[in-house]
Structure 1
Amino acid sequence: MARAGLNQEIVEATAAQLADQEGLAGLSLSAVARQLKVQPASLYVHVANRPALLAALHRRALGDLATRISHEIAGRSGLEALQGLAEAHRSLAQEHPGAWAALQQIADADTATSKEAAEVVRLNMAVLRQYDIAADETVHATRVIGSAINGFVSLELQHAFGHRDVDAEASFQRMVSALDRALRSWPS
């Protein structure tokens, strides 16, 4: 029998906290159960298995990212909106490395078609609408933006920029400015 008061939200929140603290690779249902002081079998009422837990964390991370993007781009356009989009990703990675790691996983079918994923796509398209990019080119532009942001943020999380005495923030701003220039001159 499951512990009274235990629900899917508590299980997911605990898993997210553990992923932030210890990394996604070591996240297990046993670790979540230990944290919650229940038997692992008690979790199966709320989550089918580890892949289902990882998928739930992925959707949770997408929801958090969408909220951050929405806040960062509100009332902004062009370079400022692009800056907000990039900052949303960066702040999520810095504050919740487990959520960031969940976003790096290949999405299962339910996650790829989730309302959280759809909201991230909608917000990305809102940023891209500020640029003169043909509809059939938006996937390419989105991939370029995502690759640049993901690459920078992932390297920053690994402290790959620590060997130089040059401010990473200045590099981040230059990357966003370069993306803005690329989007403004996007080939048709």
Structure 2
Amino acid sequence: MVRAGLTAERLTRAGADLADEVGFDRVTASELARRFDVKVASLYSHVKNSHELKTRIALFALEELADRVSAAVAGRAGKDALAAFADAYRDYAREHPGRYAAAQFSLDPETAAASAGVRHARMTRAILRGYDLTEPDQTHAVRLLGSVFHGYVSLEAGGGFSHTAVDPQESWAWIVDSLDTLLRTWSTR
């Protein structure tokens, strides 16, 4: 019997919380069912399978992150917008490691096109308009920013910077400054 109050939305949020606790890759319908003290079959009244559950968590994380980034960059331009954008991603990844991992989950093309991932791309391109980049350079810059931010966040989360006395925040600020310089001088390279 399905426990009263169990919905796809509630399962998604609980799955996102679970991802932050144990890691996105360890989120399963079985573990989520245990959290609600129901049988796994009860979950399947609300989500088809574990893949749908993970997709829902990914969509939730993308939306939550897009909202956070949008609020951070609102009214900013140039380096100010770039730093706010970068910090919002990094802060989200540090506060919600499982959700951040979920946001990287591979979605089918139709689902991806309807997701908040599109907002992320638009926000990145909006920031880059302040640097006056045209295509194909704008696409290259979008990929550069995504790679640098995701790479740094992933290395930091994995303890990759714990072997040195240099504060990771100093490196982060240096990277954002360097990216700003690169983007401002892109056309002269």
Is 1:92–1:100's contact at 8 Å kept on the other side of the alignment? Answer: yes
Match of 2:128 in 1: 128
Match of 1:78 in 2: 78
CA distance in 2, matches of 1:111, 1:146: 20
Q: Summarize the alignment of residues 10-21 of structure 1 with structure 2, pairs less than 5 Å apart.
A: 10-21=10-21
Match of 2:151 in 1: 151
Is 1:19–1:27's contact at 8 Å kept on the other side of the alignment? Answer: yes
Match of 1:114 in 2: 114
**Structure 2 gap ranges (5+):** none
Deviations 1:77-136 (A, max 9, x none): 000100011011101101100111112222222431124122222211211111110033
The number of residue pairs the alignment matches comes to: 188
TM-score by length of 1: 0.94
Task: Name the stretch that deviates more: 54-63 or 101-110.
Answer: 101-110
Match of 2:91 in 1: 91
Q: Summarize the alignment of residues 2-81 of structure 1 with structure 2, pairs less than 5 Å apart.
A: 2-81=2-81
CA distance in 2, matches of 1:139, 1:146: 11
Deviations 1:162-182 (A, max 9, x none): 110111101001111111112
CA distance in 2, matches of 1:125, 1:2: 45
- Judged with a 3 Å threshold, the aligned counterparts in structure 2 of structure 1 residues 92 and 111 are, in CA distance, closer, same or farther, namely farther
Is 2:8–2:47's contact at 8 Å kept on the other side of the alignment? Answer: yes
**Structure 1 gap ranges (5+):** none
Equivalent pairs: percent with the same residue? 40
Is 1:55–1:108's contact at 8 Å kept on the other side of the alignment? Answer: no
CA distance in 2, matches of 1:103, 1:5: 26
Deviations 1:113-160 (A, max 9, x none): 124122222211211111110033222111000000011111111111
- Judged with a 3 Å threshold, the aligned counterparts in structure 2 of structure 1 residues 110 and 33 are, in CA distance, closer, same or farther, namely farther
> Moved runs in structure 1, 4+ residues, more than 6 A?
none
CA drift at 1:52: 1.1
Is 2:82–2:176's contact at 8 Å kept on the other side of the alignment? Answer: yes
Q: CA RMSD in A?
A: 1.4
CA distance in 2, matches of 1:186, 1:41: 55
Task: Name the stretch that deviates more: 100-109 or 125-134.
Answer: 100-109
Task: Name the stretch that deviates more: 3-12 or 133-142.
Answer: 133-142
Equivalent AA in structure 2 for residue 44 of structure 1:
Y
CA distance in 1, matches of 2:177, 2:94: 21
Equivalent AA in structure 2 for residue 10 of structure 1:
R
CA distance in 2, matches of 1:130, 1:115: 25
